[in-house]
Amino acid sequence: MDQFQPNTRFSIFPPAIKYLLIANAIVFLATKSIFTGVWTPLGAVIAENFALWSIGNGFMPWQLFSYMFLHADMGHLFFNLLALWIFGQSIEHLWGTRRFITYYMLTGVGAAIIHMLVSGYFTYTIGASGAVFGILLAFGMMFPNQYIILLFPPIPIKAKYFVGIYGGIELLSGLTRPDSGVAHFAHLGGLVVGFILIKYWKIKRPAL
């Protein structure tokens, strides 16, 4: 019997997503000034110990997890959590809370490792984007033909094409703009690790 069971009752704020939203918001309020985006005194200490630093420049193993709960500013936080909420609801309902949170954490850790292997030296990395890209990949694989309405431009596109195009943009950006300040290979890492996990767990898309 599979230890991971789907949630039988749909909620727009299923347990894992709800607590991830709360945890990220609390950490942000404790570490950043809402209006300026500057680290608070406590935030500076937390960033020094819990952001993802490069090996030889302050790296510690727990940072592979903790960096996911730190964000640079309100925009960074808002768009990560918005994407997590939009795309994660259906995935958590389909897979169940335990599998969802396991997947989320593993894609975040995998994204960090791939970022470190590919990017080499960097100051530090923060944000849930790697794990969120893993969730985006899961949505594209589980609901490939579901339409997504883009913000810019406001046109509908199937999830499978959206994920493919977004992944291509991230790869191109990572190769051509390595100093952009965006961890493109962490985003790609979330996609790659997510794909591997879904195949390893042999998760099939639902019959619609």
Cα separation values, 171 from 21, 119, 122, 188, Å: 28, 13, 18, 7
Predicted local distance difference test score (pLDDT) of residue 79: 92
> pLDDT per residue over 155-172, tens digit each?
899 999 989 988 888 888
User: Which residues, in sequence order, are bridge partners of residue 157?
Assistant: 148
8 Å CB contact between 54 and 122: yes
Domain boundaries, the chain: 21-200
Task: Spell out the residues 6+ positions from residue 75 whose beta carbon is closer than 8 angstroms to its own.
Answer: none
The pLDDT assigned to 4 comes to 62
**DSSP code at position 32:** B
Q: Would you place residue 12 in the very low, low, confident or very high pLDDT band (cuts 50, 70, 90)?
A: confident
Residue carrying the six token digits 């493109």: 184
Which of the two residues, 37 and 134, has the higher pLDDT score?
134
Assign 208 a pLDDT band (cuts: 50, 70, 90): low
Confidence (pLDDT) at 205: 87
Please give the distance of CA 33 from its chain centroid, rounded to a whole number: 23
**What are the CA-CA distances from residue 197 to residues 5, 184, 201 (Å)?**
16, 20, 6
- Please give the CATH number for the structural domain made up of 21-200: 1.20.1540.10
N- to C-terminal Cα separation, the chain: 24
- Amino acid sitting at position 97: T
